[in-house]
Amino acid sequence: MSPTPPARRLRLGLPRRVFSQVLLMQLAIAAGVAVLATGLFLAPLSQQLDDQAMRRALSIAQTTAAQPQIAEEVQDTPPTAAGPVQKEAERIRLATDAEYIVVMDLRGIRWSHTEPREIGRKVSTDPRQAIAGHEVMEIDSGTLGRSARGKVPLRDSEGDIVGAVSVGIAYDSVRARLIHAIPGLFAYAGGALAVGALAAWLISRRVQRQTRDLAFSDISGLLAEREAMLHGIREGVVALDRTGRIRLLNDEAQRLLGIGNEVVGRSPDDALGAGRTADVLAGRVTGTDLLTVRGQRVLVANRMPTDDGGAVATLRDRTELEQLGRELDSTRGLIDALRAQDHEHANRMHTLLGLLELEMFDDAVEFVGEVVGDHRATAEQVTEKIQDPLLAALLVGKATVAAERGVALWVSDRTRLPDRLVDPRGLVTVVGNLVDNALDAVAGTAHARVEVELRTEGRTAVLRVRDTGPGIPVEHHELIFTEGWSTKKPPAHRERGIGLSLVRRFAERQGGSASVGEAAGGGAEFTVVLPEALAGSDLEPVLTAPSAPRVPQEES
């Protein structure tokens, strides 16, 4: 016969349910504590009862030896069963319920005893300590068996020792008292065990509810799976307890937030600093798919409360998507510019064709020269003031888009920017965001104009973008730099409220600043200061003295 497969063998051991395991363990602990406490109580109890019995025997012996007539009669009368010493000793024995009272002389001869035949004989135990003047307490065996014994010297009226008194209390009576105390002790131990069992049951029920009656192996497996999932997913997870402190964050959350495990146990404000990201994690800002900026990253956050009063926040990196959105905006702007140029080019070609058909050749040559000159003048005007090719190309393109939207985009006469930028791509992002916001602000207004000023002071670059729009209320001057805040309807492919936040973050990372104020003549004026924006050079940077802003005149 083949052996039974391992899966079908009977397995003996602890039950799988957490409730049963916890209950059994707590019952075992309670029973063990009850047995240990009972043993610890019984161990000294026997000794205490022995000590009490010996002290009682000693007290009876002292009381007997204090009778002056006993010492006199030991000296004056013979040891007989009918003698006065025997009668007095028996009277005291019966009154005190002692087992025996033995009065002896200096030779150890008994003058009293519960057995009359023992009177006149030598005692069975050594009386020398008592005769020598010492009081003795002991548990010993004599002619009457095992007893608790007390011995004291017997003195006459002059204080001289004339004998000794030995009193015994039956040891069986002491043991009976001990045995009599055990049932009550067991009753108390049983009551304590019952209370412990009830407490264990209640605790086990609570543990059962909290663990949802899973086995310890299941809980261990879930924890292992949770760790693998948390550290394996490409989404940041931050768990907070009921007090709002961080209790867990996975690897992706540490990467996205730029923090480590040392922030566990701290609040989001302490771990991240004051800002929108901390507000979102703490629940002070509510909603779904909340946008926040952390360093150079654009994050989408969602927060879900948990049953224990805490919360779990998830973070997704939307930086690349945001960049794609902005590239899409730029592409759409370029397409609009190309469409405008195509429309304008078609009109000019029709005009040129008409002049040629009318054989107005001189006028046709002059018209072509003006068109080419205008485009060349615009490009030359920008590249003369801005020597960085990326920024120059950006502003030329923005000027075309602005013209299509009916907005005059001017580059200030005070603009001077050498081709020594440390981070030209970052400055392109800043200028592009500010110009786009300005074009949106003046769209649909009369005499719409946007002016860009870029100048240097030493190695510091100062950017100003002015518009003739409605301006920004003073109470919103700081609020507009908060990520996610915007007064405009977001486009379909992304949300607004990120551009100005990125502008300020870029400036602050370089030790600079970004602010907004009121432009001369109305509208808004954004100012960005970027220290150390220019690389070192043997040539001195172009220094321009500040002057009053010039508002370009509208073309007739």
Query: What are the distances in angstroms from CA 436 to CA 127, 373, 395, 499, 524?
Result: 119, 27, 11, 9, 13
Percentage of the residues of the chain whose pLDDT score is greater than 70: 72
**pLDDT above 50 (res 492):** no
Residue 13: pLDDT band with limits 50, 70, 90: low
Residue 293, helix vs strand vs coil: strand
Q: What pLDDT is stored for residue 552 in this prediction?
A: 38
- DSSP H or E run through 383: helix 361-385
pLDDT (mean) for 45-63: 82
Of 3.40.640.10, 3.30.750.210, 3.30.450.20, 3.40.50.980, which CATH number belongs to 233-317?
3.30.450.20
Residue type, 73: E
**pLDDT above 50 (res 73):** yes
Residue 463: pLDDT band with limits 50, 70, 90: very high
Q: What pLDDT is stored for residue 462 in this prediction?
A: 92
**pLDDT above 50 (res 2):** no
pLDDT (mean) for 313-320: 78
Least confident of 17-26, 324-333, 345-354: 324-333
**pLDDT above 80 (res 313):** yes
Topology match between the domains 22-177 and 233-317: yes
User: Quick one: CA dihedral 380, 385, 391, 395, positive or negative?
Assistant: negative
Q: What pLDDT is stored for residue 493 in this prediction?
A: 40
Which one has a higher pLDDT value, 228 or 392? 392
Contact 524, 449 (CB under 8 A): no
Highest mean pLDDT among 29-33, 272-276, 298-302, 450-454: 450-454
Q: What is the residue extent of each domain of the chain?
A: 22-177, 233-317, 321-530
DSSP class of 263: G
Contact 483, 293 (CB under 8 A): yes
Strands of 311-317's sheet in order across: 246-249, 236-240, 311-317, 297-305, 290-294
Averaged pLDDT score across all residues of the chain: 76
Q: What pLDDT is stored for residue 50 in this prediction?
A: 76
Residue 530: HSE in the Cβ half-sphere, 13 Å Cα cutoff: 27
Percentage of the residues of the chain whose pLDDT score is greater than 90: 7
pLDDT (mean) for 386-397: 83
Query: For 220-244, how does the pLDDT look when each residue is reduced to its tens digit (9 = 90+)?
Result: 666 666 666 666 677 888 889 988 8
Query: For 362-379, how does the pLDDT look when each residue is reduced to its tens digit (9 = 90+)?
Result: 777 777 766 655 555 466
**pLDDT above 90 (res 190):** no
Of 3.30.450.20, 1.10.3720.10, 3.40.50.300, 3.40.50.2300, which CATH number belongs to 22-177?
3.30.450.20
Contacts of 244 (CB under 8 A, 6+ apart): 267, 268, 282, 283
Contacts of 535 (CB under 8 A, 6+ apart): 420, 421, 422
State the first-to-last Cα distance of the chain, in angstroms, to the nearest integer. Answer: 110
Residue 263: pLDDT band with limits 50, 70, 90: confident
Residue 547: pLDDT band with limits 50, 70, 90: very low
Query: For 87-101, how does the pLDDT look when each residue is reduced to its tens digit (9 = 90+)?
Result: 999 999 888 888 889
Alpha-carbon distance of 430 to 326, in angstroms, equals: 12
Q: What pLDDT is stored for residue 29 in this prediction?
A: 77
Which one has a higher pLDDT value, 346 or 63? 63
- The CATH code of the domain at 321-530 is 3.30.565.10
Query: For 160-189, how does the pLDDT look when each residue is reduced to its tens digit (9 = 90+)?
Result: 899 999 998 876 655 555 666 667 767 777
Alpha-carbon distance of 330 to 301, in angstroms, equals: 26
